[in-house]
A and B are shown apart, each in its own frame.
Chain A
Amino acid sequence: MKPKVAIFEFGCCEGCQLQIPNLEEKLLELLEHIELVSWREGSSAHSEGPYDITFVEGSITREEEKDRLRQIREKSRILIALGACAHIGGVNAIKNSMDQEEVRRYVYGDKAEWFPSIPAMPLSAVVPVDYVVPGCPIDKEEFLEITKALLMGKTPVLPNYPVCVECKRAENICVYEKGLVCLGPITRAGCNARCPTFGNRCIGCRGLIDNPSINAHKEVMARYGLCAEDIINKYRMFWGYAEVIK
């Protein structure tokens, strides 16, 4: 019997699950090996579970979402965080360092109490997460590799070296040489340094490597003329939830 696969989402842009139709013909091939039983964005069919593999996109930003996530976890043999919001909180956590009440008032005025919100958190803050497809958005080929590994009973492994390694391998001119500041030295690789390869800088969407030299990196950024506020803003774009940068 084909493994039953489900896709759910919380606070996010749904851009990661959109990479699934972007697989084009490869999606049709993938569907020969899995049964996609619940995917609201792509199908009206819905199953209440249980599921063999569940992908969850988005971060938790409302109290009641924790229960919904726990229920999904209970019905899922394997639970996978899909993309930066689910993996590390992502851009949703930019607001975590701000006055929560003030943020809601700025957006909703005196009706702020109609729209409760809590600081954004990754799935792993609420339930155990088995695997991660990192990135903002995810890389569709990496999604396919991880899914294939699981279907073959293997354990998917993410690289634990920084984006710089892949950037050197791609023979890019170092982003710092071009006068831009880059988070590549402490960000987990696996994207083939896509942003530097297209002439931009790494913004850290795949999260930190396991033992990042944060202080050394801060010194480098300061040497390139960034003040403390700009450095922390760059870190907080994707890592607002991470303890290490608080």
Chain B
Amino acid sequence: MSGFDINVHYVSRVEGHGNIVVKVEDNQVKEMRWEIPEAPRFFEAMVRGKHYSDVVFIISRICGICGIGHTFAAIQALEKALGFEPSEQTLLLRKLLLHGETMQSHTLHFGYLALPDFFGAPNIIPLAQSHREQVLAIIRLHRLANELCDLIGGRTTHPITTVVGGWTRLPTEGELKELRRRLTEAIADVKAVVKLFASLEMPAFQRETEYIALKKPDEYAFYDGEIASTDDQRTTPLPWYKEKIHEFIVPYSTAKRARSNRESYMVGALARFNINYAKLMPLGQEAAELMGLKPICYNSFMNNIAQVVEVAHAIEDSIRIIDTLLARGLKEEKVEIKPRSGRGVGGVEVPRGLLIHDYTLDEQGRVVDSNMIIPTNQNHQNIEEDLKAYLPHLLGRSKEDITLGLEMLVRAYDPCISCSTHFLKVEWK
């Protein structure tokens, strides 16, 4: 087979709509495009004129998976614009809730969406028969993550208790103790999942690229930090994100793309691992070792593995956070915020990578300008470059195998296309 076309209309088992378009002639790749036909939703335009207290509700609706991360990026930006410093208790609880979202989203992806590929199954359902114990461990981890989010955030999708200033409801110490017990029990489940993934054969594929993630001196950064790149010596503070992240647009995609030091870069679990691996909790380090993940890893398929590593880390770190909260004792805090004009930039590592929200407020606390940088947008160009580099390795196989190989590569990124097409603000020069 020296010439053929592949047109994957709507890649399945990803969040949102993406197409892969391939044209091969005489064993030469003539065309390779990663297209996003998802409907744009114009959130950046829609939040203008809205009071900061309403913005948080609106922007969480950008994403059904990482609404908590969007909420925190917005809250962080709005609190900076308003000159408000959240308390240590608030920050600890935010980090705990963010771990819940990371665990929920990662488990959904590696467990429900990516895993079927390694067994030639169309979805998780046949595996519930053939690998019952492992699937039940995945379900238990997923449910625990959701229950963590329900307890701290009111629910997983579009959280309720998270507001500018702090919380509308605090968990009780009894609830935290019960959650701690459940997290401790889940260590056995995460070890079972690590064993399962250690037995899978990830496609051997390498393409050197740039990785970008938030970095902090004292922890594996999720909630905040400065922008770090594997190509840079120094980190960049968040307010200067536009100097690091250069967005552009292509006509066949409703989603924006981004580059930094090279033609493309990658964000997400693998990028965070490559940059922050030394700060993983012991359970995360042990998981990485057992699954053979070492920094710097240039194989995008290993993003699945990095997600398993982060779930192990998040479980152990959640237990640590709960212990800190219980030792301090939970207190209702009085919060007073006076509206004022100003600009604030917030940055959070959401499951799929670096997310930035940027707002300018007027004196009444209403939004006059907004900008958002979405993780999957930053990955689109890297996905396309990976597809171009990977396709020649697959030539000679059947068209079905080639298609599956390309789809698996896209799925490894865990793309969130709904998110990425909701923020397409372009500055034309």
Contacts and interface: CB of A to CB of B under 8 A. Distances in A.
A109 B428 contact: yes
Interface of B: 10, 12-17, 39-42, 44-46, 48-51, 54, 57-58, 61-65, 67, 108, 112-113, 116, 122-125, 128, 139, 142-143, 146, 154-158, 160-161, 163, 167-169, 249, 251, 254, 407, 418-419, 423-428
A45 B158 contact: no
For the complex of A and B, 3 pairs with smallest distance between CB atoms: A15-B64, A199-B168, A43-B123
B15 A41 contact: yes
Nearest to B404: A44
Given A24-B142, A117-B42, A200-B163, A237 B64 contact: no
10 contacts: A10-B39, A22-B146, A24-B142, A41-B15, A46-B12, A95-B46, A106-B48, A117-B40, A194-B160, A199-B160
B283 to A, nearest CB: 23
Contacts of B14: 41
Nearest to A226: B51
B64 A115 contact: no
Contact of B58 (A39, A110, A237): A237
A40 B10 contact: yes
Interface residues of A, number: 59
A98 interface: yes
Contact of A24 (B51, B58, B139, B423): B139
A212 interface: no
Given A109-B427, A198-B160, A11 B39 contact: yes
Contacts of A24: 139, 142-143, 146
Contact of A13 (B45, B54, B418): B418
A228 interface: no
Interface string A26-44: 0010010000000111111
Interface of A: 10-19, 21-22, 24-25, 28, 31, 39-46, 58, 61-62, 65, 90-92, 94-95, 98, 102-104, 106-111, 114-115, 117, 136-137, 194-195, 198-200, 203, 229-230, 233-234, 237
Contacts of A109: 425-428
A99 B158 CA distance: 27
Contacts of A41: 12-15
A194 B419 CA distance: 25
Given A40-B10, A198-B154, A200-B163, A115 B58 contact: no
Contacts of A43: 12-13, 122-123, 125
Contacts of A94: 46, 58
A14 B156 CA distance: 13
A175 to B, nearest CB: 10
A13 B67 contact: yes
Given A13-B63, A41-B12, A107-B44, A65 B39 contact: yes
Given A43-B122, A107-B42, A115-B254, A15 B50 contact: no
Nearest to B155: A194
B426 A137 contact: no
B161 A199 contact: yes
Contacts of B61: 13, 15, 90-91, 136
A233 to B, nearest CB: 6
A42 to B, nearest CB: 6
B76 to A, nearest CB: 19
A98 B163 CA distance: 26
Contact of B46 (A12, A44, A98, A230): A98
A59 B6 CA distance: 30
Nearest to A18: B64
A106 B45 contact: yes
B44 A106 contact: yes
Given A13-B418, A62-B39, A109-B428, A237 B57 contact: yes
Contacts of A203: 57
Contact of B42 (A31, A103, A194): A103
A45 B158 CA distance: 29
Contact of B67 (A15, A44, A107): A15
A91 B139 contact: no
Given A103-B42, A237-B58, 15 more contacts: A10-B39, A21-B108, A22-B146, A42-B13, A43-B12, A94-B58, A98-B46, A107-B44, A107-B45, A107-B424, A117-B39, A117-B40, A137-B155, A230-B51, A233-B50
A61 B425 CA distance: 18
A10 B37 CA distance: 11
B156 A22 contact: yes
B168 A200 contact: yes
A12 B44 CA distance: 15
Contact of B64 (A13, A61, A90, A95): A13
A112 B33 CA distance: 22
Contact of B65 (A15, A45, A65, A229): A15
Contact of A42 (B123, B139, B418): B123
Nearest to B64: A15
B269 to A, nearest CB: 19
A95 B48 CA distance: 10
A62 B37 CA distance: 11
B428 A111 contact: yes
B59 to A, nearest CB: 9
A145 to B, nearest CB: 18
Contact of B157 (A15, A25, A110): A15
Given A44-B123, A114-B251, A198-B160, A16 B40 contact: no
Contacts of B64: 12-18, 137
Contacts of A19: 157
Contact of A107 (B12, B54, B418, B425): B425
A117 B48 CA distance: 19
B154 A195 contact: yes
